[in-house]
Amino acid sequence: MSKDNKNPNKKPKLNPYWIYGVVITIFLGMQLFYGGFGGQSSATITPSKFLDYLDQGDVAKVEIVNKREAKVYLTKEAVEKEVHKATKPNNILPAMTPSPNYTFEFGDLQNFEKEINDTIASNNLTTELKYKTEENLWGNFLISLLPFILIIGVWIFIMRRMSSGSGGGAGGQIFNIGKSKARLFDEKTDIKTSFRDVAGLEGAKEEVQEIVDFLKNPEKYTSLGGKIPKGALLVGQPGTGKTLLAKAVAGEAQVPFFSLSGSDFVEMFVGVGASRVRDLFKQAKEKSPSIIFIDEIDAIGRARGKSNFSGSNDERENTLNQLLTEMDGFGTNTNVIVLAATNRADVLDKALMRAGRFDRQIFVDLPDVRERKEIFEVHLRPIKQSETLDIDFLAKQTPGFSGADIANVCNEAALIAARHGKKAVDKQDFLDAVDRIVGGLEKKNKIITPDEKRAVAYHEAGHATISWMLEHAAPLVKVTIVPRGQSLGAAWYLPEERLIVRPEQMLDEMCAALGGRAAEKVIFDKISTGALSDLEKVTKQARAMVTIYGLSDKVGNLTYYDSSGQTEYGFTKPYSEQTAELIDNEISNIIETQYKRAISLLEDNKDKLTQLAEVLLEKEVIFKDNLEKIFGKRPFAKDEEE
Ligand code: ADP
Ligand code: ZN
């Protein structure tokens, strides 16, 4: 790479320094003007000297200029005096502009005036005292311009900075600020996504398939008088494939695809968002049929007028209004379809969902086991895998993973295998990749004392023991005491993917979560701060049981949950003080009961708990088989299908 600053083709760049130069020149110029017009060719004296001269009757006239400066004109006789000789004006045109013999500045006009008048009065002088405001026209003019010059200077400077920041385009990015930042994928870009690349998501795919059809054969629908929908909203957690789906639509329909994120509209300058929306739609119409994809639309689409204390949301509202206007504005035959993605459909402005705008909502869920397997298959395509790799197993090991997580696991596994110099990626690499993605990097050199390590081992063994023994607790996958990220150890379960949860399931899970602290109590008779995240989880769950799911007898079959998210309670609670107390009591009751249950379970099985903890201390990572060796087969057979 050679430096390109000698490249003669490069446009000469406007150097920010010239602005400084201009400003400084103006300053200097002003000083000169001031000096020149003021005629300060005369000598300066101190006020007290002046009073002396005045006292001696040498002064013919005093001019007070701009209440700041005094100009002293001597009498004809005085000029001839030895002391004043040096100041004899050598004007070429003495008659026209007699210049003062002396000038000086004084502090306070009132005091000074008084002194002069006193001297004149006491000496019976004929000295004239005059007041004058001298208009320094040029100077004033320039002074009034100065702020503008400075502002313009700063603007040009910022502009230069911005454009050089973005790769040095000499055009200046500031002129493009109202232009949309959408990335365009069309025939020319070779990123081709098709439905083949989207695994699972059958329902969603079916719905967007229709959109492809609208774009390809609009007449088929319009000929019967139907209107083509203008937009669809993809709702789902991050990484579930919403962008991918939108790209696939564009790929299948073979139309240009404008992709940008909601936050791209928002800028610190007022009015920019709206103008970007306008520009985006203009571009899309020019290329129609086309698709606009706005990711994270909640950045602009949040309900208007809510929690707007400062009025600072105006810019966002303008942007949203512009978006609504644009969507209403284009006719049915424009053939531009807007897809938008969000994981917070509940906070969106209702106006966005009205007919003629995003009138379709497509839900994109986290994948289940079967879908995870399909996603693995997609992302394993480019990877050299070992023959024995069991994709079913991988899918089972990754509950709660999104498509993006799975893509990440596959990539990470390949990197790990490469690091170990393997020819193909095998099961262990995938397991390591999963660990790494769930828990963060292993911290092999984290300093842990042997005592701490023992405490962690017993804590995790406590979780494992309880979850093994309770029917509804999730079956264990693995326990580790290798520190990772923030945690010192972890027990992982295979949560059942269930849609309805019964109270006994929740209670069993809470009991298992409290098993860590219970084990510390049973074995060491001490508890520690190591149970923080367990307690947090348990407390949340207990509160949800009581106040959301109506599962507490004492509080009853009611919920304080508002699915519309419209009610903002703020500092007031939707229940009375008595109910608040009841709720608190119920929550603490539920938790204490489960804690006691965990303690008694572990006390009854202290020997097995100890055995497990010792194995864990020795091996650091244990799996289901190790538990089976100690506890025997888990009696609740339904999860034994592996
Ligand atoms: P979102 O927009 O929902 O946040 P993305 O569409 O950006 O998620 O997904 C990120 C990546 O995750 C995709 O590029 C793809 O590699 C992978 N991915 C997500 N869902 C799927 C899926 N259903 N099938 C295949 N890959 C997926
Ligand atoms: Zn724990």
Within a 10 A sphere around the Cβ of 618, how many other Cβ atoms? 9
Please give the backbone phi and psi of residue 625, each rounded to the nearest 5 degrees, phi first: -60, -40
pLDDT of residue 538: 94
Which CATH number is 180-364 given? Answer: 3.40.50.300
Q: Is 522 helix (H, G, I), strand (E, B) or coil?
A: helix
Q: Which residue puts its alpha carbon closest to atom 12 of ligand 1?
A: 404
- Ligand 1 neighbour 375 (Cβ under 6 A): yes
Per-residue pLDDT tens over the stretch 143-197: 888 888 888 888 887 776 655 444 434 344 555 666 766 777 766 665 578 888 8
CATH topology of domain 450-641: Methane Monooxygenase Hydroxylase; Chain G, domain 1 (1.20.58)
Specify the DSSP class assigned to residue 269. Answer: S
Mean pLDDT of 504-516: 93
Residue 457, pLDDT score: 92
Alpha-carbon gap, residue 80 to 254, rounded angstroms = 100
Worst-scoring range by mean pLDDT, 242-251, 474-483, 504-513?
474-483
Q: What is the pLDDT of residue 515?
A: 94
- Ligand 1 atom nearest 374 alpha carbon: 24
Looking at every residue in the chain, the average pLDDT score rounds to: 79
Q: Return the SS3 of 343.
A: coil
Mean pLDDT, rounded, for 563-575: 64
Task: Enumerate residues with CB within 5 Å of ligand 2 (an ion).
Answer: 516, 534
Decide if 460 is catalytic: yes
What is the reported pLDDT for 637?
52
Tell which CATH architecture fits domain 369-439. Answer: Orthogonal Bundle (1.10)
Q: Which ligand is nearest to the CA of 343?
A: 1
Q: What is the pLDDT of residue 1?
A: 39
pLDDT band for position 95 (50/70/90)? very low
Q: Which two tokens stand for residue 210?
A: 């229709």
For ligand 1, atom 6: residue with the closest CA: 241
Band (77; pLDDT cuts 50, 70, 90) = confident
CA of 460 to the centre of ligand 2 (A): 6
For residue 22, what are the CA distances in angstroms to 28, 142, 158, 238?
Answer: 10, 13, 16, 52
> Does residue 301 or residue 161 have the better pLDDT?
301
Highest mean pLDDT among 56-65, 359-368, 521-530, 558-567: 521-530
pLDDT digit string, tens, across residues 538-556: 999 999 999 989 988 888 8
| Cα first-last separation, the chain | 57
Domain locations along the chain: 10-37+152-177, 40-134, 180-364, 369-439, 450-641
Please report how many Cα atoms fall inside a 13 Å half-sphere around the Cα of residue 308, on the Cβ side. 12
Residue among 317, 412, 460, 509 flagged as catalytic: 460
> How many Å lie between the centroid of ligand 1 and the Cα of residue 234?
13
Three-class SS of residue 325?
helix
Residue 591 has pLDDT above 80, yes or no: yes
Using pLDDT thresholds of 50, 70 and 90, give the confidence band for residue 398: confident
**Is residue 307 scored above 60 in pLDDT?**
no
Q: Nearest bound ligand to CA 519? A: 2
Query: CB of 177 within 8 A of CB of 272?
Result: yes
- Give mean pLDDT, residues 395-418: 89
Tally helices (H) and strands (E) across the chain: 21, 14
Answer whether 40-134 and 180-364 agree in fold: no
pTM score, whole prediction: 0.59
Res 413 pLDDT > 70: yes
Both tokens of residue 87? 């100041």
- CA dihedral for 28, 30, 31, 32, sign (positive or negative): positive
Strand partners, 74: 59
Residue 372, both tokens: 């995870």
CATH code reported for the domain at 40-134: 3.40.1690.20
Under 8 Å between Cβ of 480 and 436: no
14-33 pLDDT tens trace: 555 666 666 666 666 555 55
* pLDDT, tens only, 332-367: 557 788 889 988 877 788 888 887 788 788 888 888
